[in-house]
Amino acid sequence: MSRRIAPASPAPSTTRTTPTAERQPRAPHRYRARFGALAAGAVPVVAFPAPGLAWLAWIALVPGLSLIQRAPSGREAAVRGWWFGAGFILTAMYWLVPSIGPALPVLAVLFGALQSVVGYAVHRLLHPPLTTRRALLALLVVPAAWVSTEYARSWHALGGPWALLGATQWQHPAILGLASAGGIWLVSAAVAAVNTGALIALTAVHWRPRAAAALVTVLVLAAGPLLFALRPAPAGAGAVTVALVQPGIVEDPQARFEASTRDTAALVGQPVDLVVWGESSTTADLDRDPAALDELRRLAATTGAEVMAGEDARKADGRISKDAVLVSPVGVVDRYRKIRLVPFGEYIPLRPVLGWIAGVSRAAGENRASGSDFHVLPATDRAGRPLPVGALICFESAFPDMARTAARDGARVLVYQSSTSTFQHTWAPEQHVSLAAIRAAETGRPAVQASLTGVSAAFDAQGRELARLGTDGTGALTVRLPLAAPGTLTWYDRIGDVVPMGALLVTAGAAVPAWRSRTAAGRAAAGPGTRPAA
C-alpha cells in the first residue's frame, strides 16, 4: 500500500519582510527628526535683536545639537545639521522676503548645507557612549566647525556676514572683551563652546565627561570678562561731538533732503564737530549739482561742523553709486564710494539669469556701481584739528575686516551711514545697529550709525551704547564721543582673522581621521579579498 506524502509547506521567509517592516516606521521617524532640526534652527534667532534674549544664546543650540547627536548615522547627522542651518537662516533673515522673495528659501537651503559639517562633528564626537577624550575634542572641534561655517558664508560674494552667533552679545561689553582679541569670531566660538558643554552635561552618563565640560564652560565664560578687565581703558585723548541726522520715512528725495537740512540747521549754536546724514540722504550728484552743494556748504558754515552726506546719485558716467561725501564750507573735501554692495538690494548676481527676481520683489532694478578701494576721510573738528573718519555705508558695518582696515589706517571714529526703510517694521534695524557696537569693541574706536529711518546710535570704544534714536524718532541725535589715543590698536586690529583661520585648520584636521576611519570601515566591509576595480 503506497503512502502519499504531502509536500512540506515552505517555511515563511523573513529575509524580505523584515527589512520592509523595519523601513515602514523608520522614514516617518527620520523626517520628524529633520523637521525638528529645522524648527530648532529658529531657536537661536530670538537671542538676536529685536527679541534680544542674549542669555538664551548660551543654550539655544542645545535642542538642535541634541537631535543631531541622536542620529543613527553620521550621514543622517549631517542631514539634520543641514536642516538646522536652513531653519536658522530662514528665520534670521525672514525680513529679506520683500527684497528677494522666493530666493530666500533657496538661500536658506544653500547656506544651511554648510551646517552639515557641524552635524557630522557632533555625531562623531558626542554619540553615546561618551568618553572624556571625545568630550574634550568636541569642545574644541564643534566650535571650530561652527566658526568655519560662519566664516564661509561671510564671503562678500555670497552675501556677507550676517546673523553671526557672536552678535547676540552686542549689549554685553564684558563678553565683547573677546572681540577685542579675536573679533566676533572668538565670541561665536565661545557661545558655541558653552552650548557644546551644556549638551555634554545633559547627555553624558559618566561624571568625568560632565566634569570636563563644566570646567571648560566656566573657563570660556570667564574669558571675556577677564580680557575686558585686562584691556587698558582708552587713554584720555579728548572727545568730539557728533550729530546724527534722522529725518524719518520721507519718500520724495527732495523732501528728504530738505528734512535733513532743517534738522541740521537746528544745530546752529551747539558745539558740534561733525554732522552725519544717513545713506541716500541726497540723490544729487554733488559734483554736478551746485544748488545742493551750496546748501551743504551753508550748513557747514553756520553749524561750524563739516557735514557728511549720503549720496545716492547717477554720476557722469551714467551709473548710480552710493557715496559718503564730506563737505566743508569751501566745498567737497573728499568722498568714499561703497565697495561691498548688498546682493539683490543693490545689484543682482548673474543678472542675465536671475534678473527675473526684480519682477517679483523689490530687488535692484539696476546694478549700482561699486568703489575700488577704501580710504579714511580727512575730517577736522570745529577747532580745525584732524579727525580722521572711517566712513562706511550701511551693509559694510557687517564686515569686520573693513572696520579693522579703517583702524589700521588711522581712523579715530567709525561712521556708518544707513537706510533700512524697506525693513522698517522688522527685526532688521535692530540687528543692523548692533553691528556698530561689535565693530567698536573689535577696533577700540567709538562708532556711530546715522540712519534715515532708524535706528541711529552711538557706541564708545568698548561697545557700550551712549545714545540712541529708534525707528519711531526723527531729528538730530547729538552725542559726545571719548576718543582713544592716535595709533591705538587692539589685538584684533593687529592679528586679524587668526581665529577663523585656526577654526578652519582644526576642522580640516578633525576631518582627516574621520575620513581615514570611514575608508578603513569600507574596506573591512568589502572583505579582505576585494580588489579595487580597474
Residue 532 lies in a domain: no
In this predicted structure, what is the pLDDT of residue 512? Answer: 79
DSSP secondary structure letters along 108-164: HHHHHGGGHHHHHHHHHHHSSSPPHHHHHHHHHHHHHHHHHHHHHHT-GGGT---S-
Q: Cell for 454?
A: 532708524
Residue 13 lies in a domain: no
214 three-class SS? helix
Strand-pairing partners, residue 459, are 447, 465
49 and 153 share a domain?
yes
In this predicted structure, what is the pLDDT of residue 199? Answer: 97
CB of 161 within 8 A of CB of 400? yes
244 and 96 share a domain?
no
Residue 358 lies in a domain: no
104 and 188 share a domain?
yes
CATH number at residue 310: 3.60.110.10
Give exposure, 46-71, as e/b (b: 16+ Cβ within 10 Å). Answer: bbbbeebebebbbbbbbbbbbbbbbb
224 and 253 share a domain?
no
Residue 496 lies in a domain: no
In this predicted structure, what is the pLDDT of residue 515? Answer: 67
Domain span at 332: 239-339+374-489
Contacts 24+ apart (CB under 8 A), 149-157: 149/85, 149/114, 149/115, 149/117, 149/118, 150/185, 150/188, 150/500, 151/185, 151/497, 151/500, 151/503, 151/504, 152/114, 153/111, 153/114, 154/399, 156/340, 156/399, 157/349
In this predicted structure, what is the pLDDT of residue 21? Answer: 40
137 and 213 share a domain?
yes
In this predicted structure, what is the pLDDT of residue 68? Answer: 97
Residue 243 lies in a domain: yes
**Is the CA virtual torsion 206, 207, 210, 212 positive or negative?**
negative
124 and 270 share a domain?
no
277 and 130 share a domain?
no
Residue 366 lies in a domain: no
Q: Give the separation between CA 375 and CA 373, rounded to whole angstroms.
A: 7
40 and 71 share a domain?
yes
Residue 134 CA from chain centroid, whole number: 30
250 and 226 share a domain?
no
The CA-CA-CA angle for residues 516, 518, 521, to 5°, reads: 110
Q: Cell for 357?
A: 527676481
- Beta sheet of 475-482, edge-to-edge order: 331-337, 320-328, 306-314, 274-276, 239-246, 475-482
CB of 443 within 8 A of CB of 408? no
Side chain identity at 123, as an amino acid letter? H
Q: Which of 324, 297, 295, 321 is nearest to 308 (CA)?
A: 324
Q: Give the separation between CA 466 and CA 181, rounded to whole angstroms.
A: 23
Residue 163 lies in a domain: yes
333 and 244 share a domain?
yes
Q: What is the pLDDT along the chain (534 residues), one digit of tens a residue?
A: 444 444 445 444 444 444 444 344 455 677 899 999 999 999 999 999 999 999 999 999 999 999 999 999 999 999 999 999 999 999 999 988 877 777 789 889 999 999 999 999 999 999 999 999 999 999 999 999 999 999 999 988 777 898 999 999 999 999 999 999 999 999 999 999 999 999 999 999 999 999 999 999 999 999 999 999 988 766 667 999 999 999 999 999 999 999 999 999 999 999 999 999 999 999 999 999 999 999 999 999 999 999 999 999 999 999 999 999 999 999 999 999 999 988 777 877 777 767 777 766 677 778 889 998 999 999 999 999 999 999 999 999 999 999 999 999 999 999 999 998 888 889 999 999 999 999 999 999 999 999 999 899 999 999 999 999 999 999 999 999 999 888 899 999 999 999 999 999 999 999 877 666 666 655 665 565 554 443
SS3 content of the chain, % helix, strand, coil (to 5): 50, 15, 35
In this predicted structure, what is the pLDDT of residue 429? Answer: 94
Rounded (10°) angle between helices 116-126 and 498-526: 60
Predicted structure pTM score? 0.89
243 and 227 share a domain?
no
In this predicted structure, what is the pLDDT of residue 528? Answer: 58
Q: Cell for 399?
A: 564686515
Q: Which of 62, 71, 66, 67 is nearest to 43 (CA)?
A: 62
Listed in sequence order, the residues at least 6 apart from 57 whose beta carbon sits closer than 8 Å to its beta carbon are 44, 47, 165, 168, 169, 191
Instruction: Give Cα separations from 136 to 61, 204, 498 (angstroms).
Output: 18, 12, 22
Q: Which of 181, 62, 52 is nearest to 442 (CA)?
A: 181
What's the structural domain count of the chain?
2
In this predicted structure, what is the pLDDT of residue 256? Answer: 96
Q: Which of 472, 496, 482, 470 is nearest to 445 (CA)?
A: 482
Q: On the CB side of 319, how many CA atoms lie within 13 Å of its CA?
A: 12
Q: Give the separation between CA 347 and CA 351, rounded to whole angstroms.
A: 8
Side chain identity at 342, as an amino acid letter? V
303 and 188 share a domain?
no
Listed in sequence order, the residues at least 6 apart from 381 whose beta carbon sits closer than 8 Å to its beta carbon are 240, 273, 274, 387
Residue 451 lies in a domain: yes
Side chain identity at 155, as an amino acid letter? W
